[in-house]
Structure 1
């Protein structure tokens, strides 16, 4: 029996494309843009500063400042005497003895800063926003140059490439996150712009990395592991909505690694998303209030202990449910989240930070709306999670530092699905719950990562990662049929799944030649669920062929415990081996201009020890278990294997001369061997991805951007219409498993931003059009027992999205 449901997606779409609601949103977005109409510029005295024009004279607008600390990217040591220059001007400064710097009395605007230092790669940081009367914190780490001893001209770089992450790694700064067309200012939607990442469309937050499932990714926030970062998350890892928990207004840096990542990361077969929250202001009270298509929120920040620390608070709440009730638009989801970060400098060598990330979401669909959509299932869902954690950063001495975090996470899931049935009189009635789940999990985590320099050309990263989990599952299954048409008897299970995951790791980082960096690591993972220890060797390298060309490669073994929902279904499932993936990655990078970089990577990912049905199984679903881990699968073995292989191209241009953009493309296959020995396409064998996006910023006030995305249609299995009509439930024709293909997905996203600098405040407005040419992209296919036919559920039609943020 398969316990995913598509009702949330439908009802959200039904709400958003309701004509009355669309008109309301268009009116609000238009008014928001009109509120920021510019006044004529008056007497600007800073014409030499790029993008620094604004509708107030310098005498009217309060100046802002940029400050920060500059460190060595590898050792964390502060750098003294780094030259900092505002691009296109002669305004600059240098870092002090403690690595700090300040650029004061700057007219509000958008700047690019150049950081240069002898023996290090020159770096240009774009999109630095200076707000009236506010301080912008910009901490920078510089990478030691591969050409420090050679007579060769090295261009300034707009891209930072870490020697410890030489392959499949991309970072985004806050402004790149905010303005991405179609990104919705959501972390996973931003990541989905990369060639290594496919999505399931606009209606969900799920990412599929190099042919893997949503279960194969891990998320770290400020060195603290997160159980998930999506609202409406199911037991199989899927989300049921486009909204995430992370407030991207708080994000200082977003780093994504799509393969061959280092030994310090575990519990992931495909990718690592590393998020760094910014500090709050160390001065007086600052904040913002905002609203957008889905909800409203605000942020407050203030200094602590006379500048020795800061406090940052954020809260958001949706109002789709309130609008739906007011205009009678049908059921709507409700979500809220709240986030906190506090930082305090204990002394010059120790900094303590505390974070709390809370999210809650719930939804109850309505029978009438389901019938209108041709569906016969409705759902009631309530999810919540909270992560509380502290991280201590300690500088032990020259070239030696440690980050140690302790955290506690709680997640809850209350889900009910109901089937609509037709009585003899033709009336519809609601059956008892087809599936009822109550699940609550606690995660206690200790994570410590240290780096020790072993000389000018060597260092070692080492640490430990310990997690203790306590999960209680209580679920009831009504008698029914699985998607292959087999009878599933009624079942009730109330069980605890408790266990400990403990790991130790070390990576030796070497530069045997000035142009060559090498990383060799080893990770050992112990899992108490099956009392197994897995060893994961990993290695990577980068070689600078010239000042513009570089080659890189990576290899490694990766292990991950099986989904806890599968472990809860039987005692034998708890003895399953931990799934394994082997990564091979190789790539080339060429810096066309200082602000333009092209990379080409090829990869192979081999899966083994994957859970699958036993070979003696008869007439059952041959689907890949990790692609449907929310299903009822009480008897599994660790004999599954598969692969993903492909090639990716990424062309990036950072903001320079008013323009930025990116082109990405990938071609790949992902397959597996089923329990019958046949090789099958995985559900996420999309095969090709292509995306082009770009923007133009003519001045401080305006920005226009556009994105077009294309991805192949994934495989699907047609319904057995005779069996489905007989049983009154969708039965797939397993003789034609994954034989059909969904239509290709493609959509155009158009965005306009307006930024307005007042005397001491700042207003940012935007409007987007998703799916601008109204393409009918399928989301899923369902069988309706009401109409006794297949129903195609589409993703968003043309959809206006807008928002306003007022910063003070």
Structure 2
């Protein structure tokens, strides 16, 4: 049975379960939870829990548990306070009829004992161990982010210092680095790719720098997000740009809920609840098919479909041990065959796809166990065991149509076609183990850990025959300057790699409260990288100086190493081992907390790069570590957190990012060198039924190559071809990016549950934002790759 039929059957079965489960019940529900200390994971007694705007209040017992009953169905914010801890505010808690909302909540110790205003803490914020570039999102904030369509990666793109791959892409690039340079953790499990539709091999057989287009997590799957835009501590490594920690929602321990969402792209079903007194489960299934949307926005026909399936169980084994088990499966299938190509399409049009055919199949699998053990009242240990695999099978072909003088296709199959001119196979398997120990002393918190992983890589890149590249850099034809094209020879392009390697890491980090005003976080990390047979040491330091209860100076500096991409390693000869890229980072920031939910942050940063992997000739797979570079910038943001019925943010980022391949051509703009970025976002909730959200984004256009065009480069009137000679890498810029996104949500509570409807419009003005340019050898013209308006709408039912 194929993927689509399996999903359809699953949806039908679960919908029947949803319908059969509809019952009329009481119009009140309950709130229950456990309050624990963030640094030790110990339960906290005598914590006051108040439902804002009501007289409903409770306190935790000796086990840290609290319960509030008889809450009228609706949406609430909750304030949690205790002596010695930062007051925490949680918004958009949805109380449903005859159900109990359950959550485990962590509190941070107060960072100062000085008198003054109490600052409310949101998850991960105001943490002395992460003093710089730290941001967080709640589950509801992700879902309601305008233009994000519930996608966590798209929601992050509005943060200061963060840019997406551009228009239709969602993968993020942070502070002058690329989309593949970020640390991703899912329930403390390292992952290297969180996106769908990343066309590995589309760029002449090498990686597309834009990353993917949609995250592998359906809306409302991620319960909490912690993002650090550089300066992260030694517990994370092997990537150097930013840290993104995602926590998958745990199942409700008290009552069951079933929900389904149907939108323009497909459908999602979620079920969670208790399966025993000690164990809860959370499950989700999503299937997306872009056929309807492609027709709606007038894109070229293609098959684009993917699925995301997840199951997570959480078991409180006893008072000291908590076990989580997670399993994920994320298949995708996209293709464009000769049957999808129609006469009448102009090769020069935006998003024409030129004359490329493809068949892309990808799947990701993850199974992980996370055991948290409380050793005593001041220490705990996390042990994580996981298996991760991904398979990529990409085929790229070409057709040779007949077309008129304007570039309009007359007959797609006129000159024949090839389905598999180039092939990419990239299969990875990884078994890993992490053990992280944390102990709290009087003024110091110690974190120490080890990581060990065994990686198996089975990779093959195949070109079936000699091919021609009509886009090239000037120096790549120096040996024969009269030949204005490059020959792509299988002997220089093809590679095969099937090997295993061991990676190991060890790290120690301290968070030392030197005084009431000064906190220092020194640490050191050791990494061994098996494929490069390289040992590295990374010292890092961060800290915070409290000027008063509202203002602080924050800083971070350190060395960061980044493993070479597995696909790059696999393309080299046995004697050409790529080294880890190295960067030295420094951040200095100022934070002003105007009120408990309004803050201003300004940060200046600098990065110095060395041993950067470069490709001397794009017709060959040979790579070196000859590159270097630098990046610097400043970010400013004013954020009103979601504490009442409205929230918003304003941010501006300035950035410069340069690279030098040390090939005699000098430095050039890095592909994600975006000097100016502005983001404005706001949301207003006038009542429990309506939510209105909007976001405006502007950024300088991305760098693009400066070039000249040569005509009739084959000297054959029967096969007229043009070529593009790149005279300056990234010497020009694309048009500036503008996008206004609008989202409207409607929610209504019924005795049987909640009904919701939404409209989410990306780029409502339908301005065509260009992401990149594609040269057309048949016509000598440039086709722009980008996106205009991108709409979706749907309904959601929760029982």
TM norm structure 2: 0.87
Matched position secondary structure for 1:434: strand
Equivalent residue number for residue 549 of structure 2: 547
Equivalent residue number for residue 599 of structure 2: 597
Is residue 659 of structure 2 the alignment partner of residue 672 of structure 1?
A: yes
CA contact (8 A) 1:61 1:107 kept: no
Equivalent residue number for residue 164 of structure 2: 199
2:65 is matched with which residue: 86, 100, 112? 100
TM-fit CA distance, 1:739: 1.6
Structure 2 vs 1, CA of residues 728 and 687 (structure 1 numbering), >3 Å: closer, same or farther?
farther
- Structure 2: tracts of 5 or more residues without a match: 1-23, 201-206, 348-353, 404-409, 473-484
Equivalent residue number for residue 700 of structure 1: 688
Equivalent residue number for residue 287 of structure 2: 317
Equivalent residue number for residue 24 of structure 1: none
Is residue 368 of structure 2 the alignment partner of residue 393 of structure 1?
A: no
Equivalent residue number for residue 645 of structure 1: 632
Question: What are the superposed Cα offsets for residues 186-230 of structure 1, whole Å, 9 maximum, x if unpaired?
Answer: 111111110121012231222111011111012111111123111
After superposing the two structures, state which structure 1 stretch, 77-86 or 370-379, moved more.
Answer: 370-379
Question: What are the superposed Cα offsets for residues 590-637 of structure 1, whole Å, 9 maximum, x if unpaired?
Answer: 111211111001100111111225xxx6xx46xxxxxxxxxx653333
2:446 is matched with which residue: 451, 460, 474? 460
1:784 is matched with which residue: 748, 753, 776? 776
Aligned partners of 1:585 and 1:328: how far apart in 2? 43
Question: What are the superposed Cα offsets for residues 288-333 of structure 1, whole Å, 9 maximum, x if unpaired?
Answer: 111112111201123122x211111111112334887999983230
Q: How do 1:48-447 residues align onto structure 2 when only pairs under 5 Å count?
A: 61-148=26-113, 150-157=114-121, 160-235=125-200, 236=207, 238=209, 242-305=213-276, 307-321=277-291, 330-367=301-338, 369=341, 372=345, 374=347, 375-422=354-401, 427-431=414-418, 433-447=420-434
Matched position secondary structure for 1:683: coil
Structure 2 vs 1, CA of residues 472 and 798 (structure 1 numbering), >3 Å: closer, same or farther?
same
Q: How do 1:672-691 residues align onto structure 2 when only pairs under 5 Å count?
A: 672-677=659-664, 678-691=666-679
TM-fit CA distance, 1:574: 4.9
CA contact (8 A) 1:422 1:786 kept: no
Aligned partners of 1:183 and 1:590: how far apart in 2? 28
Aligned partners of 1:241 and 1:529: how far apart in 2? 26
Question: What are the superposed Cα offsets for residues 424-476 of structure 1, whole Å, 9 maximum, x if unpaired?
Answer: 997242135331122211011111211011x2211200101112111111221
After superposing the two structures, state which structure 1 stretch, 368-377 or 349-358, moved more.
Answer: 368-377
Equivalent residue number for residue 17 of structure 2: none
Aligned partners of 2:630 and 2:213: how far apart in 1? 29
Matched position secondary structure for 1:733: strand
Equivalent residue number for residue 19 of structure 1: none
Is residue 715 of structure 2 the alignment partner of residue 750 of structure 1?
A: no
Equivalent residue number for residue 708 of structure 2: 720
Aligned partners of 1:311 and 1:728: how far apart in 2? 62
Q: How do 1:526-537 residues align onto structure 2 when only pairs under 5 Å count?
A: 526-537=528-539
Structure 2 vs 1, CA of residues 193 and 325 (structure 1 numbering), >3 Å: closer, same or farther?
closer
Equivalent residue number for residue 624 of structure 1: none
Aligned partners of 1:605 and 1:730: how far apart in 2? 40
Aligned partners of 1:700 and 1:774: how far apart in 2? 31
Equivalent residue number for residue 46 of structure 1: none
Question: What are the superposed Cα offsets for residues 148-167 of structure 1, whole Å, 9 maximum, x if unpaired?
Answer: 2x344435456731111111
Structure 2 vs 1, CA of residues 329 and 637 (structure 1 numbering), >3 Å: closer, same or farther?
closer
CA contact (8 A) 1:566 1:633 kept: no
Question: What are the superposed Cα offsets for residues 17-59 of structure 1, whole Å, 9 maximum, x if unpaired?
Answer: xxxxxxxxxxxxxxxxxxxxxxxxxxxxxxxxxxxxxxxxxx9
TM-fit CA distance, 1:503: 0.2
Structure 2 vs 1, CA of residues 380 and 729 (structure 1 numbering), >3 Å: closer, same or farther?
farther
Aligned-residue CA RMSD (Å): 2.4
Equivalent residue number for residue 737 of structure 1: 729
Task: Indicate the structure with greater strand content.
Answer: 2
CA contact (8 A) 1:542 1:552 kept: yes
Structure 2 vs 1, CA of residues 204 and 763 (structure 1 numbering), >3 Å: closer, same or farther?
same
Matched position secondary structure for 1:185: coil
- Structure 1: tracts of 5 or more residues without a match: 1-58, 622-631
CA contact (8 A) 2:707 2:728 kept: no
CA contact (8 A) 1:611 1:639 kept: yes
After superposing the two structures, state which structure 1 stretch, 312-321 or 688-697, moved more.
Answer: 312-321
TM-fit CA distance, 1:514: 1.5
Structure 2 vs 1, CA of residues 656 and 349 (structure 1 numbering), >3 Å: closer, same or farther?
closer
Aligned partners of 1:581 and 1:400: how far apart in 2? 33
Equivalent residue number for residue 487 of structure 1: 487
Number of residue equivalences: 731
Question: What are the superposed Cα offsets for residues 668-707 of structure 1, whole Å, 9 maximum, x if unpaired?
Answer: 0000112324111111111111110101101100011111
Structure 2 vs 1, CA of residues 412 and 476 (structure 1 numbering), >3 Å: closer, same or farther?
same
CA contact (8 A) 1:379 1:416 kept: yes
CA contact (8 A) 1:566 1:573 kept: no
Aligned partners of 2:162 and 2:145: how far apart in 1? 16
Indicate the structure whose relative CO is greater, using CA pairs within 8 Å and at least 6 residues apart.
1
Aligned partners of 2:273 and 2:90: how far apart in 1? 26
